[in-house]
Amino acid sequence: MSSQANWNSLTGIATLLFDGNLVAIAIAILFTFGVPIALHIFFFQAVASPPSSNFLLLGPSGAGKTAFTTLLEAKSSLASNKSHGTHTSQQSTFVTVTLPPTVPTGSNRYRSDNDPSLKEAIRNPIKYRVRDTPGHGKLRLSQGISELQTMSQSKDIKTRLRGVVFMVDTAALVDEATLRDTATYLHDVLLLLQKRAKNGSSSKRTTDIPVLVAANKQDLFTALPPGVVREKLEAEIDRIRKSKSKGLLDASADTGLEDEEEILGNNEHETFSFKLLEHEVGIKVDVVGGAVKGDLQEEFGSGVRRWEEWVGMCL
């Protein structure tokens, strides 16, 4: 076969393609099967695996962060109905957990109850990732705050932060020192989020990161109710804000490493409240009570139900 000459004319090419050449058949088969598969891989995977939603778990040591994480893990795995015990963490961990199908999600807000796609959701429950961080004072800066910084500023859809869960031990909050410590940490977290919201608004639209103050250990007798926790934290943050504005500069201020200190909330003279923060900066803070241990009802892990609902509304 003199295929060389045939390439020159259109009819020659057509002849070559239609004359049952093995190579042509192979190419055709490869093309017909390959293109749909390639398209599927390219498009479907991008859509089918939704951006993994990350939640960051912050809070002082002993608030119950790791206990909460293990509880979620135990809940999402069908096999075990008992979470492991926990101790003070030294490292942060990423865990993937599933949202119980009974918890409504934010994206399904406008769906009717009879929507058949809701039934679909029961079969493959929504997954999200929780980052558990150590709450010890020495590890906060390096693992808690810096994690928040990188995750909140991340442009990658995979590591973007959907919400912050700030754990609070409501039974220990009566103690002045614990309250101060907790509020300082929360203050730092909110300040960082505020900086992000302010910087981001000018360049491009940033999704805001809501904060849940999870008032843990509601099962204990000495626990403060969520409303009181909210008041106490607001009052304490207000005091911290005032003293911060009058405090000494850091040593790094001389070298110009950091820009000027910012104040949480825009208005320095108004008393601080979470509502004010939402109004002025756009950071939503919810205080919701719950209990990791000592389930209120018989059902396993029912004490964290309301926090899961909050997580669901963020998804």
Partner 1 sequence: MLEAFEILTTSGVVLWSKAYAPVGAHVINSLINDVFIEEKVVPQNATASGVSPAYKKEKYTLKWKRVKEFDLIFVAVYQSLLHLGWIDRLLENISTIFIDLYKDQVKGDRARIQTYRFDQYFEQQVRELEDNTGGFVEEIVPETGERKDPLVSSDNGGPPPPQVPGLVKAQPRAALAGATSDEGTPPATPEISRSSTPQGHLLTAKAGPGGRGSRRARKAANSSANASSGDEARKGKPVKTPVKKMRRWDASGMADEDDGEILDYSAPAEEGESAVPAVEAVSEEDWGRRTGKGQFVLKELGEEVQSILDQADAEKSKGTASSGVVGSGFNAIGGFFRNIVGGKVLTESDLEKPLKAMEEHLLKKNVAREAAVRLCEGVKREMIGKKTGNFQSTDAALHVAMESSLRKILTPTSSLDLLREINAVVAPTSKQQAPRPYVMSIVGVNGVGKSTNLSKICYFLLQNKYRVLIAACDTFRSGAVEQLRVHADRLKELSVRENAGDVEIYQKGYGKDAANVAKDAVDYAAANKFDVVLIDTAGRRHNDQRLMSSLEKFAKFANPDKIFMVGEALVGTDSVMQARNFNQAFGTGRNLDGFIISKCDTVGDMVGTLVSMVHATGIPIVFLGVGQHYGDLRGLSVPWAVSLLMK
Least distance to partner 1, CB of residue 245, Å = 10
Least distance to partner 1, CB of residue 271, Å = 14
Cβ atoms of 145 and 135 closer than 8 Å: no
Least distance to partner 1, CB of residue 30, Å = 35
Task: Name the residue nearer to partner 1 (CB basis): 207 or 255.
Answer: 255
Least distance to partner 1, CB of residue 179, Å = 10
Sheet order of strands, 53-58 included? 93-98, 127-132, 53-58, 161-169, 211-216, 285-289
Report the alpha-carbon distance of residue 14 to residue 232 in Å, rounded.
83
Question: Residues 93, 95, 99, 105: is their CA dihedral positive or negative?
Answer: positive
Residue with tokens 């500069």: 249
Task: Name the residue nearer to partner 1 (CB basis): 262 or 278.
Answer: 262
Task: Name the residue nearer to partner 1 (CB basis): 3 or 222.
Answer: 222
Least distance to partner 1, CB of residue 73, Å = 5
Task: Name the residue nearer to partner 1 (CB basis): 84 or 279.
Answer: 84
Q: State the CB neighbour count (10 A cutoff) for residue 137.
A: 12
- The binding site for partner 1 (CB under 8 A) comprises 61-62, 66, 70, 73-74, 77, 79-80, 82, 84-93, 95-96, 132, 134, 136-142, 176-177, 180-181, 184, 239-240, 243-244, 246-255, 257
- For the chain, how many residues are written? 315
Least distance to partner 1, CB of residue 39, Å = 31
Task: Name the residue nearer to partner 1 (CB basis): 144 or 303.
Answer: 144
Q: State the CB neighbour count (10 A cutoff) for residue 219.
A: 16
Cβ atoms of 308 and 99 closer than 8 Å: yes
Task: Name the residue nearer to partner 1 (CB basis): 66 or 105.
Answer: 66
Type of residue at 221: F
Report the alpha-carbon distance of residue 57 to residue 166 in Å, rounded.
6
According to DSSP, the residues that pair with 169 across neighbouring strands are 216
